[in-house]
Amino acid sequence: MSLELLKPISNSLIDELNENYLQGSIFKKLDIHSLSSGLPNIESSNVCIIGVNEYRNSFFESEPHDLDNVRKEFYKLKFSNWKLSIADLGNLPNGNTTDDTYHALYEICKELLSKKILLIIIGGSNDLIYPIFKSFDSYNYKVNIASIDNQFDLYQESDLVSGRTYMNKIIIDESNRLNDFTNIGYQRHLCSHDELQLMEKLFFEYISLGEISENNTKAEPIMRNSHIVGFDMKSLSSSASFNQIYGNPNGIDSRLACILGKYAGQSNKTSFFGLFELNNNIVSNKLYSEIIWYFLDGVDKRIIESDFNDSQTFNKYIVQTSGRDIIFYKSKLSEKWWMLIDNSKNKSVSYLPCIETDYLDAVNDTIPVRWLKATKRI
């Protein structure tokens, strides 16, 4: 069983938490992998948490994070009126090689995915998205990845899987499993022209830091369509991360970070949510804890909306643009929007999440960029 690879949380930390944290805290509601009680029974769990300290293939100067410090801050927060069962499964130790760690994480992700349990990964570098992606290999649908990052991670200067090259590995993977990759928060001065050209060539989507800061709702449909969401903590501003040495003057602020976490949690598709490239200080640990809290708050508020032909649930709008009709659906319950994507090759249709602005653009005879790129990826 792959979960047996995970190391328990120390009894000394649990004893400390028992002494200091009041009823109503998250700590009092969690099933925790400890030395005394062993692995939790996850059959009734909605969400599991693991810590990872694999940084050997990080592109950046990184060091292992004391994940107990993140847990202390997270466990202090209040458990809301959630209908969730959450298990902290402990930490995945590094293997002899990074490939060993990748394989262990792959096995854990595959097991939890088969049980339809969401997994939050705390720590490690961005390249861990590759084994997470591989856990979908036995499924017959394509995978969408959203990366909250100030760079595209499409460097092609090395065959090594690293925090800056892992997306190349995913793109050329023999499974041909990738459908869409979207970057949220890129900064133009940190991305090469070649990377931008490749994003365009592959019809991938990207939203700049300026765009997402001005209108964070642009991220919501991206998250709603993503199976994997990776959040690179180096994309935070130095004021948010409290990192005065390696921090960036421009970046995602703490409020926006929590909003993005909640959008990811609300997505019915999202199975994996990772916080990578952690910064080791008290303020950062508090922020990581809050991002996880808002992710869980989003998970608790998920709404299943799938029967687009039910007129009691959805309004349907057919918009005539120059040369083509685009069909939109709006939920009467959540007021969220989708566009119909017709795949004539295999005679199937899919429903692409969007926002009202896409509908208004179509009404004004401007074809939405999301619709165009989605149809070109078919």
How confident is the model over 348-359, as pLDDT tens digits? 899 999 999 999
- DSSP sequence for 142-172: -EEEEEE-SS-----S-SS--TTTHHHHHHT
Model pLDDT, residue 10: 87
Query: Does a structural domain hold residue 166?
Result: yes
Instruction: Mark whether 246 and 366 lie in a shared domain.
Output: no
Residue after which a domain boundary falls, among 256, 274, 300 = 300
Model pLDDT, residue 107: 97
DSSP 345: T
Instruction: Mark whether 292 and 331 lie in a shared domain.
Output: no
- Of 90-99, 168-177, 366-375, the range with the lowest mean pLDDT is 168-177
Instruction: Mark whether 245 and 347 lie in a shared domain.
Output: no
pLDDT-based confidence at residue 197 (cuts at 50, 70, 90): very high
Q: What confidence tens digit (pLDDT) does each residue in 356-370 have?
A: 999 999 999 999 999
Residue after which a domain boundary falls, among 243, 275, 300 = 300
Q: What is the CA radius of gyration of the chain?
A: 21
SS3 label, residue 282: helix
pLDDT-based confidence at residue 12 (cuts at 50, 70, 90): confident
pLDDT-based confidence at residue 160 (cuts at 50, 70, 90): low
314-321 β-sheet, strand order: 314-321, 324-331, 337-343, 348-354
Residue after which a domain boundary falls, among 300, 330, 347 = 300
Q: What confidence tens digit (pLDDT) does each residue in 80-107 have?
A: 999 999 999 999 999 999 999 999 999 9
Domain span including residue 251: 2-300
- Nearest alpha carbon to residue 113 among 76, 139, 142: 139
Instruction: Mark whether 370 and 292 lie in a shared domain.
Output: no
Q: Which residues contact 95 (CB under 8 A, 6 or more apart)?
A: 101, 103, 104
Instruction: Mark whether 337 and 288 lie in a shared domain.
Output: no
- DSSP sequence for 98-147: HHHHHHHHHHHHHHHHHTT-EEEEESS-GGGHHHHHHTTTTSSS-EEEEE
Instruction: Mark whether 132 and 64 lie in a shared domain.
Output: yes
Instruction: Mark whether 48 and 124 lie in a shared domain.
Output: yes
Q: What confidence tens digit (pLDDT) does each residue in 34-58 have?
A: 998 999 999 999 999 999 999 998 8
Q: Is the pLDDT of residue 179 over 80?
A: yes
How far is it, in rounded angstroms, from Cα 254 to Cα 245? Answer: 18
Neighbours of 282 (CB within 10 A): 11
Instruction: Mark whether 247 and 332 lie in a shared domain.
Output: no
Instruction: Mark whether 293 and 321 lie in a shared domain.
Output: no
Q: Is the pLDDT of residue 157 over 70?
A: no
Average pLDDT, the chain: 92
**CATH number, residue 47:** 3.40.800.10
Model pLDDT, residue 355: 97
CA dihedral 149, 195, 224, 208 (to 10 degrees): 60
Instruction: Mark whether 296 and 319 lie in a shared domain.
Output: no
Model pLDDT, residue 54: 95
Instruction: Mark whether 64 and 113 lie in a shared domain.
Output: yes
Q: How many domains does one find in the chain?
A: 2
